[in-house]
Structure 1
């Protein structure tokens, strides 16, 4: 049963995953959801709000959700997270949508999208990958991991958190507002502000993801649904080599580049990113 959750982020529903973990999901638009958005590691469903709102306005009802260990979805008491759990959660949300949806997955969300689409052709109608390929650039991923490991004791204020993000993303002009930052942080019992994800999952998921790379490359060869890869021109996580390899593995896939964007494509250039998503969705209506 899906019940309503009181929330500081929005007003999500609670969807039980196969192992009983509750996932926080949010619907944009009315009717059967035609799109499911899966965020990257360390993000929450709030990363998709602008694009999800635009898709709903274009007639594509959609769902966003917090991955387990993130945002308002349950965190595992054991702390024993694995990539297979994340894949099962995506399947669960897609099944809840009521019909095979278009899956939009960024980074971690894209990897579980590749795994799902490659193992079950009926699980989704189409796939949009956001700056991720089955083989990634280790240096770019390590840069992200270094930032995520950098503040184990959290922050003393929103201003301190904003400064850390500005240092990590110097190409963005304005710092995040307090309102946007509050969606990324939770206040611990000691009063410190910490990221809205379980820090215990960082190393297990990073290691597990690396072990799954060969499986992801194999899964890509079995993707049969319409596929779009959107990459950031300034990304250090994907490269010309990894993109070309993916396009060889999935020869029917399209590729769109967002100028000026880094790995954080939707956050860097949301208008351009959303335009690519809407154009691809419009092309599906003709199929």
Structure 2
């Protein structure tokens, strides 16, 4: 639990339980924060309270199979299930939200908004996700996630692995902050997500027809859209971002310098400054 947040339980597709942190007044306009694959709702620990202070009611759920949300009983983590969870979350809010989605969260939100039954949103922010990824960067993510199936002896060991994977990011001054993204398994620490997710991720890196499907959904969504790209991202190259915005009439783009794929974690202040002018159009 983050200071000022109120953990709540929401329902996704089929009633699956999704744990979320909630900040802000109940009467404020809703803003949904969706993390990326292999992350948890704590990816937004710094962003959520700051957005609430600007007058939003911020809801940051753990996606299915992540954090303290329920796992898929059958181990199925097809992209359509994540999109259906977004539809259920949006419907449960009772008011059209603005949605900010990173990577898997953004892709799920885009499909939910652009494919029937459409989730109605006021606006959508995509954080380093577009119609197609750079396969090398996407495979590097999966390789990291698969890299330690036996987990870690300590939180510090996990922090060292993250630092090696993200050399452009300063080493954490307090490795214990990483504990929220880990869970105990026997005498080891493992990542706080269902390992069966990886089987779905590997098949989703760039399957046939994905680019066309995502672009079609982005056009049909017909909502104001901001693409936030990490300036040094190895997943969404500059040419990919340019192509996406050229194909989607309502799309705008901003780059966050010195940020990789995990933009909010790499350069949180710069990320916040990049999205606030767009969000202010909908307050």
- Provide TM-score, normalisation by structure 2: 0.92
In the alignment, structure 1 residue 106 sits paired with structure 2 residue 98: no
How much does 1:90 deviate?
1.0
In the alignment, structure 1 residue 62 sits paired with structure 2 residue 58: yes
Distance (whole Å) between structure 2 residues aligned to residue 21 and residue 210 of structure 1: 27
Q: Which moved more, 1:168-177 or 1:195-204?
A: 168-177
**1:153-192 superposed matches below 5 A:** 153-175=150-172, 177-188=174-185, 190-192=186-188
Q: Are the equivalent residues in 2 in contact too, given 1:157–1:192 (CA < 8 A)?
A: yes
Q: For structure 2, which runs of at least 5 residues remain unmatched after alignment? A: none
Distance (whole Å) between structure 1 residues aligned to residue 20 and residue 44 of structure 2: 12
In the alignment, structure 1 residue 97 sits paired with structure 2 residue 93: yes
How much does 1:31 deviate?
2.0
**1:122-161 superposed matches below 5 A:** 123-161=120-158
Are residues 128 and 159 of structure 1, via their aligned partners in 2, closer, same or farther at CA, if it must alter by over 3 Å?
same
How much does 1:13 deviate?
1.6
Which residue in the other structure is 1:257 paired with?
255
Q: Are the equivalent residues in 2 in contact too, given 1:127–1:226 (CA < 8 A)?
A: yes
- Match of 2:183, SS? strand
Q: For structure 1, which runs of at least 5 residues remain unmatched after alignment? A: 1-6
How much does 1:93 deviate?
1.4
Distance (whole Å) between structure 1 residues aligned to residue 145 and residue 119 of structure 2: 35
- Match of 2:10, SS? strand
Distance (whole Å) between structure 1 residues aligned to residue 80 and residue 250 of structure 2: 26
Q: For 1:168-216, what per-residue CA distance to the aligned partner results, in whole angstroms no more than 9, with x for missing partners?
A: 011112226233111110001x211000001111122331463461321
Distance (whole Å) between structure 1 residues aligned to residue 165 and residue 79 of structure 2: 26
| Aligned-residue CA RMSD (Å) | 1.9
Which residue in the other structure is 1:219 paired with?
217
How much does 1:8 deviate?
10
> What count of residue pairs does the alignment treat as equivalent?
278
Q: Are the equivalent residues in 1 in contact too, given 2:91–2:119 (CA < 8 A)?
A: no
**1:1-16 superposed matches below 5 A:** 12-16=7-11
Distance (whole Å) between structure 2 residues aligned to residue 176 and residue 24 of structure 1: 27
- Match of 1:199, SS? coil
Q: Which moved more, 1:228-237 or 1:276-285?
A: 276-285
Q: Are the equivalent residues in 1 in contact too, given 2:51–2:58 (CA < 8 A)?
A: yes
Distance (whole Å) between structure 2 residues aligned to residue 40 and residue 51 of structure 1: 14
Which residue in the other structure is 1:198 paired with?
194
Q: Which moved more, 1:68-77 or 1:120-129?
A: 120-129
Q: Are the equivalent residues in 1 in contact too, given 2:22–2:59 (CA < 8 A)?
A: yes
- Match of 1:229, SS? strand
Which residue in the other structure is 1:247 paired with?
245
Distance (whole Å) between structure 2 residues aligned to residue 283 and residue 258 of structure 1: 20
Q: Are the equivalent residues in 2 in contact too, given 1:51–1:274 (CA < 8 A)?
A: yes
How much does 1:25 deviate?
1.6
